[in-house]
Structure 1
Amino acid sequence: MNHRNKTKLIAVVLLSAMLAAGCSSASEGAPASASSSAAAGASAAATSTAGVQAAGEGAVASAKYDEDDTRTEWSADSATTIALNGSSATVTGSGAEAADGVVTISAAGDYVLSGKLEDGRIVVNAPDKVVHLVLNGADVTSKSGTAIHLVEAGKVVVTLQEGTENGLTDAAVYADTSDDAPTAALFSKADLTINGTGKLSVNGNFNDGITSKDDLKIVSGTLIVTAADDGLVGKDLVAVKDGDLSIEAGGDGIKSTNDTDEGKGEIVVEGGRFDIRSANDALQSAASLYIADGTFGLVAGGGHAASTKTHAEEMPGGGFGGRGQWSGEGQGFGQPPEGMERPEGGTPPDGEAASARTRNAPASDIAATENPEAANTAGTEETESTSAKGLKAAGPLVVAGGTFEIDAADDAVHSNTSVRITGGRLSLATGDDAIHADAALAIEGGTIDITSSYEGLESASIAVSGGEIRVIASDDGVNVSDGSGGEPGGFGGGGQAANNGLLLDISGGYLTVDAGGDGLDSNGSIRMSGGTVLVNGPTNSGNGALDYDGTFEHVGGTLIAAGSAGMAQAPSEDGSTQRSIMMTFPQTQEAGTLVTLRDASGQTVAAFAPTKTFQTLLISTPALQSGENYTLSAGGTNDGNGVDGFYESGTTAGGTEVVGFTLGDGAVTYLNESGVTTGSTGMGMGGGRGGMRPGSGTGGGSRGERTP
């Protein structure tokens, strides 16, 4: 088993083990009528969610700052002064000596450096001692290796003296290239802490800017780092309490590297300002990544516009009644919807099929484009040189606060296990997923604005219980998937998807989606018990505003989903206690057309103006009551306070009544311009009763349809 797979396995076990007695709020209020298969999926997802909630707890405590880390003061009476002068140095005091441009420190104490060393280095070799280096207007350049080499010590604290500017520059080619040789302009084999309020400019011409083979802590100060490879590296820990960090890196911006020792390899950020431009990942943790606060401007891999990711399009599933089947009105098995031609060789027209993504290295992009089959099988193992993510962790990734502007060629936020977001303001643009977690993603708070992505949110388990989230995606807005590509279904699709543990659980928060592919897509099931969800798109008939393979239990919250008609789904009859209407218009409606649902007294129940063309519109709010009369109109304007095209009240002026109807007793009332029509409630093999649009054909029944 390779290390990456081993890490995922351990993470899943830990997530399950951390399930506490009190599960997430998303699991509360399950109706007694919920299907056992959906309950099993919810239970598995709740286990993962609980693990996400536990992730990062105590992370700040693990980054312990002692008195030595925060001490900046020194006394001229007791400190050893080191005056740098061209190719030599003068030492005044004990514990250090200078010879041939090399200053060697061998004892504990305070050492104050000033002046300029044009070709030399500072060496610390004081086993088990605490050495305090004060850079008091010091500039050190080496033409043969590292500028500061901390060979051995109990801890080295570098203080940037208030009001001073300091510099470190290493050689582009090192004389010592052995395995134990330093690899950074400031290189330490001991714990390294940087504090103070001065400025330090680091030019890492050979490899890295600042590297510690133990812990690296930034307490304060201004750091400007330019590195041929990585900017800041801490093997066991990178901890930032405060400071102003500007990093230009040919590799990763900030990284930890210990991926073998338990409790090591973490990155913990409590605050500070970060301006990072990296060819690869901006922040990369070999274990967990925890951010409590800070201001982040991150550009990875040149940003989303520079992405070379290949997203191969193919027909998924396939087989009798599988997800790969076209759903056509009055057409036979596997026929495309009206107005669409069957693609040659099983390949759908551009944009008309669900997508199967391949994560290819840039070197293979051209070949993958020319050979889509190869794109789906080759180049899936990510290498360090191909990863260009904003925030990346091999273990749990937690964002509790902060302000983020992330522009990444790859995922903006990524974890090989779990992601938890409880606060902060995140603006994300990415060439791939905006937020991706292999095992579980929990969003409990914060503001997330995804301005550009391939897929917005992706994980095997997604729980949204709070926050304000806006997603723009060229493919799926929200995608619940374990990366296996799903299972072919039987009649009605789904297969074992209803109880495969894959679940999108929405219990609160505010979510808007603008998707070129599916709006909400679960390769398992969906459960909604609270919050507000608005879906715009897709406009093509190969995708749906809602897409699930198991069941969709809708028991609370407000859901409005506009999109095309070919693959449209509504919530499930089984398990859904809140009423919905699904309107299919006789023809495509223009973007911005206001659709208003009124009750018998003429009061607005909901009004929505989709941002894209649409032919179906699903509306579900707690106000809908069975047996009551309603009207649906199109056009006009609403005088209420609309947000994202949605009006919970207000008066609509103008417009044309499309249909009047009485809301039925079932979970979903299907409508067309003639009134109530028969909805689809086909049984999938997984036991889920899905909801395809009315009037579907007599064919194999993709995604849960049946003949009325």
Structure 2
Amino acid sequence: MKKQKANLLKAATPLLCTALLFGCSNNKEEETESSSDPAVSQAESLSTIGNQEIASVISKKVSYDDEDFYTKWKNATSIKLNGDSASFKGDGAVVIDGSSITIRAAGVYEISGKLNDGQIIVDAEDDGHVRLVLNEAEINSSSSAPIFVQNAGKTVISLEDDTKNVLSDGDNYVYEKSDDDEPNAALFSKDDLTINGSGTLVVNGNFNDGITSKDELKITGGTIQIESVDDGIIGRDLLAVKEGNIQINAGGDGIKSTNDKDADKALIAIEDGTFNIEATNDGIQAETTLLVANGKFDITTGGGSPETIETNENNPMSPFETPTTTSTETNKDSAKGLKAAVEVAIGGGNFTLNSLDDAVHSNNSITITGGSMNVASGDDGIHADQSLLIKGGDINVTKSYEGLESKSITIADGKIRVDAADDGINIGGGNDSSGRDFAATENSEDNLLSISGGLIYVNAAGDGLDSNGSIAMTDGTVIVSGPTNNFNGALDYDQSFEQSGGFLIATGSSGMAMPTSDTSSQYAILMTYPEIQKAGTLLHLEDDKGNTIATFAPEKDYQTAVISSPELAKDTSYTLSSGGTASGTETNGLYSDGSYQNGTSVVQFTIADTITWLDETGVTEAQPMGPGGMGGPGGKMGGPNGGAPGNREDMFSDLDEETREKLQNIMEQQMNGTITQEEAQAQLKELGIEFPTGGPMGGGPEGAPSGGPTGDKGKEPVQP
């Protein structure tokens, strides 16, 4: 196992410069005082917003003028729709040709009545603003957009109080030229578009999209209900929502920005509002940055998360898993809840996200400073290719393949609960890499999970905290209910897990059990029980004066427990008990402010070293790990009976790429049954790799794969 101090301050600029559409510049907004936590400062440097309040960032990037907000209108030109024709009164420039109505000048136009098959066209000869007041209007068009803004300085759609207005198109548009592709939405504007008021707008986009602006689209009020064959709402350069009640059922994306040519555009900025979105693809997708200050969001994508998430937890080939890549850049069928190419930043709001793909995703960074999130995902709960920073909020990932995933994750505050079918919190390479990737871990010094505050609970079928790099913890509370299979561990890291503060308790199986690093400044214990302990069985640790260090009821079966606490001290005696009952306040299985009774003493010991290894006989010594150490209680990877724990890649770290590929192929063949165990061992011996009896996929009654018939201790491989 590598014991290498994590470098908390890596160069941020190269990472940021490689983010899609985000070039190196000095355009970052002026920031407030930097955090005193170096890991937080680093995460902020990878973000486009730094350490600013998200509402403040929106106010700097999005401006509204008076006409963007609804005001009482007067001196309007009145357009009355009469089935197959229309009429108008007033001074506005209106041209009526059967059921086609063209507005040729700036001004206020009130529209009422029903148009059976026609169109409102805005083609202003000046650069003024055109305001369309929809006052119980219904406009149907079988062959084009019911409202088509061809030219205007800005068009404002005002939804009159207590009115219902309907726009519906047909399923086939007729264009003047064969190469035309605009309009392609029931409400389509080539210029800036604003929707305001307190009435209702129903949009039936039967051809393609619901509402599209080729420039900026702003919504400051109203109820908007959209059914669309493809996307619901598109703002090419900007999509800003100040307030409103938005309901979308989309065959494509729910809400999106699309300008992929200008890094300063394609922003989605939401200050408030209510959003109910059901989309076949992404719920809200920004080509650059998605900023959310507040609001209520209920978003389902791709039909929602599957009932069962497939995992590789019982696959002994887990060291060789091929990473799953479903990044924004390559997957056209993306079904993510919230997504951005550069950054997702959330400062508040209430989110219910149910997604087939990642619930929250960024190709670069994610910043969460507040809000409440309930997440069910068929893939990752929250995924950022480069950096995930959590400084507050209440995050509950109820279902996921992996709960939180990024190359760098920094948790400074907040309440987080993660339920994962694989790893709970995973530090790995970008592009949604969920599996093991040797190439991605070569530069793993950049990979860091940093915890400096908050309450974190992880329930993982795979690794609880998994870093293809390092873990650093200085404060906060972390509770891990880890795996029950021996191919994963409650804690798993490549380099080091240095803890200098905070409270950690992690329970799980014994096969991959790891404690914190012995370079930590805070003491820890790792207890291995002789038998599997049933879920809910209390473990209680107290000092020789009867002071409670921890009382915990794990959610799942367990055979090992790691406890690190500021209350642990050198040359102090402790008693670890099992069973019994506890009273007091219980949070995720951890009890406080209560008492413990009727337990059975399992082991008494005195702390002498940073890490104290325990079994029922008392303090033991860890031994170097070898591939033969993977096994059950008699021969596991790690622990006093089978070698010190270490990362799975340590077994193969000295192999060159060609040999590693051959090793993988042999193990896959044996797993698939195309060669026998004896044949696999013979081929491995030719490579210069000697596994103990039982072979790479062997193992006796109490030994998982790679352990001998009785679970041999770790025998070091013969390197080529």
Give TM-score, length-normalised by structure 2. Answer: 0.81
Say which of 472, 482, 489 aligns to 2:419. Answer: 472
Match of 1:79 in 2: 76
Residue 480 of structure 2 corresponds to residue 481 of structure 1? no
Counterpart-to-counterpart distance in 1, 2:524 and 2:604: 15
Instruction: Give the deviation of 1:47 after TM superposition.
Output: 4.5
Counterpart-to-counterpart distance in 1, 2:647 and 2:366: 36
Counterpart-to-counterpart distance in 1, 2:250 and 2:408: 34
Match of 1:460 in 2: 407
Counterpart-to-counterpart distance in 1, 2:471 and 2:30: 21
Match of 1:598 in 2: 542
Match of 1:217 in 2: 218
Residue 517 of structure 2 corresponds to residue 519 of structure 1? no
Match of 1:138 in 2: 137
SS at match of 2:153: strand
Match of 1:59 in 2: 58
Say which of 393, 414, 417 aligns to 2:361. Answer: 414
Cα contact 2:625–2:644 (8 A) shared by 1: no
Say which of 684, 687, 693 aligns to 2:639. Answer: 693
Residue 119 of structure 2 corresponds to residue 121 of structure 1? yes
Cα contact 2:368–2:392 (8 A) shared by 1: yes
Cα contact 1:24–1:50 (8 A) shared by 2: no
Residue 580 of structure 2 corresponds to residue 581 of structure 1? no
Give TM-score, length-normalised by structure 1. Answer: 0.82
- What amino acid is the match of 1:108? A
Cα contact 1:355–1:475 (8 A) shared by 2: no
Instruction: Give the deviation of 1:71 after TM superposition.
Output: 3.6
How many residue pairs get aligned? The number is 623
- What amino acid is the match of 2:67? D
Counterpart-to-counterpart distance in 1, 2:320 and 2:303: 25
Provide structure 2 residue ranges, at least 5 long, that are not aligned to the other structure. 1-14, 627-636, 652-712, 716-720
- Residues 122 and 702 (structure 1 numbering): CA distance in 2 closer, same or farther, change over 3 Å? closer
Counterpart-to-counterpart distance in 2, 1:612 and 1:23: 41
- Residues 414 and 202 (structure 1 numbering): CA distance in 2 closer, same or farther, change over 3 Å? same
Counterpart-to-counterpart distance in 2, 1:6 and 1:592: 48
Say which of 316, 326, 347 aligns to 1:400. Answer: 347
- What amino acid is the match of 1:153? A
Say which of 12, 18, 27 aligns to 2:38. Answer: 27
Say which of 108, 111, 126 aligns to 2:109. Answer: 111
Higher relative contact order (CA 8 A, sep 6+): 1
- Residues 663 and 535 (structure 1 numbering): CA distance in 2 closer, same or farther, change over 3 Å? same
- Residues 119 and 402 (structure 1 numbering): CA distance in 2 closer, same or farther, change over 3 Å? same
- Residues 460 and 15 (structure 1 numbering): CA distance in 2 closer, same or farther, change over 3 Å? farther
Residue 301 of structure 2 corresponds to residue 356 of structure 1? no
Match of 2:573 in 1: 629
Cα contact 2:483–2:489 (8 A) shared by 1: yes
Calculate percent identity across the aligned residue pairs. 46
Residue 545 of structure 2 corresponds to residue 544 of structure 1? no
Instruction: Give the deviation of 1:682 after TM superposition.
Output: 7.6
Counterpart-to-counterpart distance in 1, 2:53 and 2:26: 9
SS at match of 2:366: strand
Counterpart-to-counterpart distance in 2, 1:466 and 1:700: 29
Instruction: Give the deviation of 1:573 after TM superposition.
Output: 1.1
- What amino acid is the match of 2:410? A
Residue 566 of structure 2 corresponds to residue 619 of structure 1? no
Deviations 1:463-491 (CA, angstroms, capped at 9, x unpaired): 000010000000000000114766759xx
Instruction: Give the deviation of 1:650 after TM superposition.
Output: 2.1
Residue 331 of structure 2 corresponds to residue 383 of structure 1? yes
Match of 1:324 in 2: none
Match of 2:597 in 1: 653
Instruction: Give the deviation of 1:241 after TM superposition.
Output: 0.6
- Residues 496 and 667 (structure 1 numbering): CA distance in 2 closer, same or farther, change over 3 Å? farther
Cα contact 1:23–1:50 (8 A) shared by 2: no
Counterpart-to-counterpart distance in 1, 2:213 and 2:48: 34
Instruction: Give the deviation of 1:355 after TM superposition.
Output: 7.4
- Residues 652 and 531 (structure 1 numbering): CA distance in 2 closer, same or farther, change over 3 Å? same
Say which of 469, 475, 478 aligns to 1:533. Answer: 478
Instruction: Give the deviation of 1:696 after TM superposition.
Output: 2.6
- What amino acid is the match of 1:27? P
- Residues 669 and 413 (structure 1 numbering): CA distance in 2 closer, same or farther, change over 3 Å? same
Counterpart-to-counterpart distance in 1, 2:454 and 2:189: 46
Instruction: Give the deviation of 1:103 after TM superposition.
Output: 0.8
SS at match of 1:438: strand
- What amino acid is the match of 2:406? S
Match of 2:501 in 1: 556
- Residues 408 and 667 (structure 1 numbering): CA distance in 2 closer, same or farther, change over 3 Å? same
Counterpart-to-counterpart distance in 1, 2:644 and 2:52: 49
Cα contact 2:538–2:578 (8 A) shared by 1: yes
Cα contact 1:199–1:221 (8 A) shared by 2: yes
SS at match of 2:540: strand
- Residues 117 and 400 (structure 1 numbering): CA distance in 2 closer, same or farther, change over 3 Å? same
Match of 1:266 in 2: 267
Counterpart-to-counterpart distance in 2, 1:15 and 1:657: 62
Counterpart-to-counterpart distance in 2, 1:50 and 1:234: 21
Instruction: Give the deviation of 1:155 after TM superposition.
Output: 0.2
Instruction: Give the deviation of 1:353 after TM superposition.
Output: 3.2
Counterpart-to-counterpart distance in 1, 2:650 and 2:18: 36
SS at match of 1:569: coil
Deviations 1:516-548 (CA, angstroms, capped at 9, x unpaired): 100000001000000000000111110110000
Cα contact 1:301–1:408 (8 A) shared by 2: yes
Match of 2:659 in 1: none
SS at match of 1:410: coil
Match of 1:286 in 2: 287
Counterpart-to-counterpart distance in 2, 1:310 and 1:657: 40
Instruction: Give the deviation of 1:97 after TM superposition.
Output: 2.1
Instruction: Give the deviation of 1:593 after TM superposition.
Output: 0.6
Instruction: Give the deviation of 1:15 after TM superposition.
Output: 11
Counterpart-to-counterpart distance in 2, 1:522 and 1:65: 44
- What amino acid is the match of 2:86? A
- What amino acid is the match of 2:152? A
- What amino acid is the match of 2:162? G
Say which of 626, 638, 661 aligns to 2:582. Answer: 638
Instruction: Give the deviation of 1:181 after TM superposition.
Output: 2.2
Instruction: Give the deviation of 1:252 after TM superposition.
Output: 0.3
Counterpart-to-counterpart distance in 1, 2:346 and 2:647: 42
Instruction: Give the deviation of 1:663 after TM superposition.
Output: 1.3
Match of 1:345 in 2: none
- What amino acid is the match of 2:81? L
- What amino acid is the match of 2:193? L
Counterpart-to-counterpart distance in 1, 2:620 and 2:193: 71
Provide structure 1 residue ranges, at least 5 long, that are not aligned to the other structure. 29-41, 314-347, 362-378, 684-690
SS at match of 2:588: coil
Instruction: Give the deviation of 1:263 after TM superposition.
Output: 1.2
Instruction: Give the deviation of 1:630 after TM superposition.
Output: 0.7
SS at match of 1:570: coil
Instruction: Give the deviation of 1:383 after TM superposition.
Output: 2.8
Cα contact 1:389–1:408 (8 A) shared by 2: yes
- Residues 611 and 259 (structure 1 numbering): CA distance in 2 closer, same or farther, change over 3 Å? same
SS at match of 1:58: helix
Counterpart-to-counterpart distance in 2, 1:591 and 1:652: 18
SS at match of 1:139: strand
Deviations 1:196-222 (CA, angstroms, capped at 9, x unpaired): 000010000000000000011110000
Match of 1:250 in 2: 251
SS at match of 2:195: strand
Deviations 1:481-523 (CA, angstroms, capped at 9, x unpaired): 114766759xxxx9866x6211000000010000010000000
Counterpart-to-counterpart distance in 1, 2:546 and 2:155: 74
Match of 1:423 in 2: 370
Instruction: Give the deviation of 1:693 after TM superposition.
Output: 2.6
Cα root mean square deviation, aligned = 3.1
Instruction: Give the deviation of 1:356 after TM superposition.
Output: 3.5
Cα contact 2:47–2:343 (8 A) shared by 1: no
SS at match of 2:108: strand
- What amino acid is the match of 1:669? T
